[in-house]
């Protein structure tokens, strides 16, 4: 798929607006045997999506906050490298996740490849190409460097164009608060966060205290769990 990712990078760089980018991504998806694509950016207070998935599925996905149980997003957060996936082989022991996979399959989303990238302060963006097949052919070897470069081009282009967020959280957290929350979610102590961020322990405690208040949380684990579920970190 190396040449395909190189072609994707070139074509997206020539797109002048959101419509052109969407058209380019869908054309390239079909060219490689996929049926649809989905770009998703999870930022501080927003989720931005551009997709060729069925409109009904897109509406349902955000209405039901499926990003919190989507196994593809969970894998993207943990792996942070291009990977192939299939809902047929996802961890289906969780009832919610099992229902999600079955519902996605009804809309022809059964397997695909996803390429996540970090966009700073614990935020991520990802590009998925999906298929209604039962499994992704193993021959589709992924070069993680080329794949990440291509998605970086897509993300940068959309940021430059200024795409409007698909969903926005009413909760507002400052960059320092989000950063400290993210490190806390990674298991770092406040003293460790202070060292990593080159600040004082008192500042870290202040930022985390403000974050808990904004989220309406009483404990730090509760705050990190809520922030993760809302897609803030």
CA–CA distance, 15 with 35 (Å, rounded to integer) = 21
**What pLDDT, on the 0 to 100 scale, is given for residue 1?**
81
Average of per-residue pLDDT across 17-28? 92
Torsion sign, CA atoms 208, 213, 215, 216: positive
CA–CA distance, 41 with 119 (Å, rounded to integer) = 9
pTM for the structure as a whole:
0.72
Q: Are 189 and 201 in contact (CB under 8 A)?
A: no
Q: How many domains does the chain have?
A: 2
Q: Are 39 and 8 in contact (CB under 8 A)?
A: no
**Which pLDDT tens digit goes with each residue over 113-143?**
999 999 876 678 999 999 998 776 554 677 8
For residues 82 and 160, membership in a common domain is answered with: yes
Q: Domain boundary at 118, 137, 168, which?
A: 168
Average of per-residue pLDDT across 184-204? 94
Range of the domain at 221: 175-229
Look over the chain and give the mean of its residue pLDDT values, rounded to a whole number. 87
* Token pair in block for residue 222: 């509760």
Q: What phi, psi does 48 have (nearest 5°)? A: -115, 125
**What pLDDT, on the 0 to 100 scale, is given for residue 91?**
64
pLDDT at 44 over 60: no
């Amino acid at each position: 798929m190396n040449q395909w990712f190189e072609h994707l990078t070139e074509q997206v760089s020539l797109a002048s607006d959101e419509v052109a980018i969407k058209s380019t991504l869908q054309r390239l998806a079909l060219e490689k045997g996929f049926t649809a694509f989905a770009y998703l950016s999870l930022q501080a207070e927003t989720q931005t999506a551009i997709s060729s998935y069925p409109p009904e599925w897109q509406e349902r996905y955000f209405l039901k906050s499926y990003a919190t149980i989507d196994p593809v997003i969970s894998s993207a957060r943990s792996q942070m490298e291009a990977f192939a996936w299939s809902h047929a082989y996802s961890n289906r022991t969780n009832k919610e996740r099992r229902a999600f996979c079955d519902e996605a399959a009804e809309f022809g989303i059964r397997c695909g490849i996803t390429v996540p990238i970090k966009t700073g302060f614990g935020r991520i963006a990802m590009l998925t190409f999906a298929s209604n097949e039962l499994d992704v052919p193993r021959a589709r070897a992924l070069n993680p460097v080329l794949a990440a470069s291509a998605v970086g081009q897509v993300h940068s282009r959309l940021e430059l164009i200024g795409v409007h967020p698909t969903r926005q959280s009413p909760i507002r957290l400052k960059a320092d608060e989000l950063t400290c929350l993210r490190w806390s979610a990674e298991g770092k102590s406040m003293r460790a966060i202070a060292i990593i961020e080159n600040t004082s322990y008192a500042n870290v405690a202040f930022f985390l205290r403000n974050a808990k208040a904004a989220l309406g949380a009483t404990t730090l684990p509760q705050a990190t769990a809520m922030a993760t579920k809302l897609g803030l970190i």
